[in-house]
Structure 1
Amino acid sequence: MNEVTVRAYGPLNDFLPAHRRRVSWPHLVDDHPSVKDLIERFGIPHPEIDLILVNGVSVSFDYIVQSGDRIAAFPRFMMFDIGRLTRVRPRPLEPIRFVADVHLGKLARHLRLAGLDTAYRADADDAALADLAVREGRILLTRDVGLLMRRSVTHGYFVRTTRAHGQLVEVLRRYGPLDLQPFSRCLRCNARLRQVPKSAVDGVLLPRTRRHYEQFEMCTGCGRVYWKGSHWKRLKAAVDAACGEAERPEG
């Protein structure tokens, strides 16, 4: 057997048991794994990793672990540009678009509310989610570590927070600054909205809505009609609050 030493830094410790957080630990290896596979054995999904140093040298996920290696895994650096150093970071996706797993329906709605292109299907299985992320160049948002560990997934993030507002703040902070266009997407199907004359939607309006509102938008996908009703100010306040929280430093 070969012995190596492993350490994870920053938020990568969220995936480890308490006794392995923020410390180095020895590990016996009886095969010849890649450094990606070895690190994932401890529960750390590879899309969360931005840099791996082995004996102080930056390596790729394909590096084969050797006896005596000292392995250090780092998360995304918020304050430093390590683009010329890292050998594991994939090419950034442009524009930024998301796909949310089946447990993040409320987050998907909040992201759409903020104007972010977010795919979501309540009946999608893991294979379909991973395939969509790769095929359409989307960042996979999930609460499922196993899904994030799928080899085909290159861009993904494990959402730590459990409440939808906090999840929105977390994603905005992680991927910001973003060019947000709130209320530009359909909350039901994610397609863009377009302004329409009142006469175009008059037939589907309730009498009270018809009396009190003049400006309307329609989804270009499913045809749902939107207007700035009594709920609009509350939703706008929620988006503004999330954006403000995301801009403030954590802690």
Structure 2
Amino acid sequence: MPLVSLSFDADLTPLLPLALRGHPVVRGWAAGATFKHAIEALGVPHTEVGRVLADGEPVVLEAMLPASGHVAVSGVQPTLPAVPLRFLCDAHLGATARLLRMAGFDTAYDNNYADAAIEVLALEEDWIVLSRDRELLKRRGIGRGAFIRAREPQAQMREIVTRFRLADVAKPFSRCLECNVPLRMLSPEEAAASVPPRVRERQRLFSTCDVCRRVYWPGSHWARMSAVLAGMLSPPDDEGPERAAPILRSGSAGA
């Protein structure tokens, strides 16, 4: 039975059981075990793994463990994913899915998705799976994903923006918050029948969702929503709400 020593970067240590943190893990593994199997058995999903070195040499997760030696496991580095840039949030991240849509990112969410269905969608349609469920992210069919450590939606959003370097590619309020489809611009004349008279008098910029027919405009909540979104998309020392200037209020017909 292979007896292998594994060590993990500091950012991966919190994913290990308490008793295994702070020192190399030395354990025997059954013949035929892969690096993926060993790393995930200790609590770290493959979506969180960057470079793996076996006695200093890079290896792929699907390779077989050696008979002995030392394995060093690094965490993933923040990077903008290759296209398609679209996210699938599991049932734990409903509020965060809405924030991603608010920032303009293609984001699927349905709290009725079963883990098996998420795996199929990820495999067949190449979604980036976001979850707080490590067992879900260990599924082999999920090639792109992230374990979200934060618990509060705005903190989760900041974590996702940092992990995937999303700040510079955000297009705030370019998607419907309900349907996730891109919004289409409307002229004031086209929007007139769908917005209250006071809105028609004050606003000239409108957009609509061609699925649910909601109409959006830069209304009274603009400043608050701009500040909230800018705080999630910008570094703490960035210029602030100006980054989110294109944001539109999520108004709708009859709102």
Q: Determine which of 157, 170, 178 is the counterpart of 2:146.
A: 157
TM-score (norm 1): 0.86
Q: Tell me, what secondary structure is at the counterpart of 2:76?
A: coil
Structure 1 alignment gaps of length 5 or more: 80-91
Q: Determine which of 92, 104, 114 is the counterpart of 2:93.
A: 104
1:246 deviates by 7.1
Deviation track 1:65-121 (CA, whole Å, cap 9, x = no partner) reads: 132221111112359xxxxxxxxxxxx521422111111011111111111111112
1:175 maps to amino acid: F
- The equivalent residue for 1:82 is none
Q: Please give the residue correspondences for 1:202-217 in structure 2 after superposition, counting only pairs within 5 Å.
A: 202-217=192-207
Deviation track 1:162-200 (CA, whole Å, cap 9, x = no partner) reads: 111111111111111541111111111111111112332
Q: Please give the residue correspondences for 1:77-116 in structure 2 after superposition, counting only pairs within 5 Å.
A: 77=77, 92-116=81-105
Is 1:137 the equivalent of 2:126? yes
TM-score (norm 2): 0.85
Q: Determine which of 172, 181, 198 is the counterpart of 1:191.
A: 181
Contact 1:172 1:246 in 2 (8 A): no
- The equivalent residue for 1:88 is none
How far apart in 1 are the matches of 2:141 and 2:151?
26
Give % identity: 34
Q: Tell me, what secondary structure is at the counterpart of 1:50?
A: strand
Contact 1:173 1:246 in 2 (8 A): no
Higher alpha-carbon deviation: 125-134 or 54-63:
125-134
Deviation track 1:1-55 (CA, whole Å, cap 9, x = no partner) reads: 3321111113221211223223212102233211111111111101111111111
How far apart in 1 are the matches of 2:138 and 2:164?
20
Shift in CA distance, 37/247, structure 1 to aligned 2, threshold 3 Å? farther
- The equivalent residue for 2:235 is 245
Contact 1:192 1:221 in 2 (8 A): no
- The equivalent residue for 1:87 is none
1:207 deviates by 4.1
Q: Please give the residue correspondences for 1:219-238 in structure 2 after superposition, counting only pairs within 5 Å.
A: 219-238=209-228
Is 1:146 the equivalent of 2:128? no
2:68 maps to amino acid: G
Shift in CA distance, 154/197, structure 1 to aligned 2, threshold 3 Å? same
Structure 2 alignment gaps of length 5 or more: 239-255
Shift in CA distance, 169/247, structure 1 to aligned 2, threshold 3 Å? farther
2:16 maps to amino acid: L
